Amino acid sequence: MRFASVKQFCRVLHRVLGLSVGLWAAAIALSGSLLVFSHEIDAALNPHLLRVEVHARAWNPDDAVATVRQQFPHAPLVSMRLPRRDDESLLFRMGKEGSEEVYLDPYTSRVLGTRDEHDGLVGFLRNFHVHLLAGETGETISGYLALLLISIVATGIALWWPRRGRLANTFKIRWRLPMLPRMYDLHRVAGAASALFLLVPVITGTMLVFHQVTTSFLITSLGGPTLSLPDKVTMPAEASREPVSAWLTSARNALPGAELVSVKFPQTEAEPAVVRMRFPTNTHPNGRSFVAIDPYTSQVLHAHDWRQIGTGLGISDYKYPLHIGTAFSLPGRLAVLLIGTVPLLLLATGWYIWWRKRQPATGSVMQTGRLPARTGLTGKPPVAGSRTSSIRHPASLPED
């Protein structure tokens, strides 16, 4: 296929990708909008798992771990997520892949229930949004589709780009015109107004899929250091592991002022325990500070302080808060929620425009948005050189 101009090529590419990749984009964006408030939605739908009655006495993590090990002796204990609020439950991840979730009342050490990480509405949405319900393969496919989505946005901007002095007109929607030109205006204005905002979750989402490549590039080009935690510890002869409470105490002392978020349990005898922490100034909901602990002595092996990282790793750590909007607190989350509805609007208007242009012309101005080809505003054939022959009907649809 030969193209008469770059603009024609952009138009064809925008249409083909928009009508195909746009289906995926609309579904992914809507699921992402809901996942911005996943914790609140999950708590509302499953209060029996995520909410507990607050007690006056402090809870003991060692009792909770002992209960889980006793009731699930054959399932490897992968991690423990600490409560974010006083009325929140403890979350343990079990199994080889950490896909089995066990919820525990921290005050009574009573098991509240279990579920697979993909169960329920939020679990399904997360599995679809991240993995397309197809594991790592689906995640990789989403990454490449996101690159094509960037092309859709770029070609859309190129097609919208106004001539000098006509910027204001490109943001007008002619609501009184027939459906076809009205949908065209809505598609053009919505796409132009949201393009830069759409690129933020798309680009950061792509970086999350290909995080190893993007993080290495950022650290190499802008500076590190990398997040390097020791992968082995020396196991003393006839030694047993220290209680989890001792690990948490060591982590608090290593990074004072940071909130405890979770504990990753060693999966082998030579593996350290890793405590994840979050400083109040860190917009990442799970924090990006880590403390590696010797499970046998509770000695700190390495502390990764989020406040002391280099520019490259700092930008890399910022991609997830930008992606879900927490980088700008509640207003940012609400903005991501709103932006997530735009691809569906663009898909619907784009499909309508494509479908309507494929319909045979009936000659009706109200249906086509154009006057008959050989008549002027009076309904009579225009006279060459007359003022009527050069008038463009206000309902006519622009070519781009």
Residue 367 has pLDDT above 70, yes or no: no
CB 152 within 8 A of CB 26: no
Q: How confident is the model at residue 381 (pLDDT cuts 50, 70, 90)?
A: low
CA dist 373 → 280, 370, 382, 390, 394 (Å): 66, 8, 10, 12, 14
95 alpha carbon, distance to own chain's centre? 26
Which one-letter DSSP state was computed for residue 383? P
pLDDT in tens, 168-227: 888 999 999 999 999 999 999 999 999 999 999 999 999 999 999 999 999 989 877 777
Residue 399: what pLDDT?
42
Partner residues linked to 278 by β-bridges = 259
Per-residue pLDDT tens for 92-128? 999 988 899 999 999 999 999 999 999 999 999 999 9
Task: For the chain, give the percent of residues with pLDDT over 90.
Answer: 76
Please tell me whether the peptide bond between 236 and the residue prior to it is cis, using omega within 30 degrees of 0: no
Q: Which of 222, 242, 300, 306 is nearest to 61 (CA)?
A: 242
Tokens 């343990």 -> residue: 92
Residue 389 pLDDT exceeds 90: no
Distances (CA, A) of 324 to 48, 89, 223, 339, 379: 26, 23, 25, 11, 56
Residue 359 has pLDDT above 90, yes or no: no
Alpha-helical segments (H) within the chain: 6-35, 38-45, 47-50, 61-71, 120-131, 135-160, 179-209, 211-222, 244-254, 311-317, 319-324, 329-339, 342-357, 365-368
Tell me if 135 sits within 8 A of 141, measured CB to CB: no
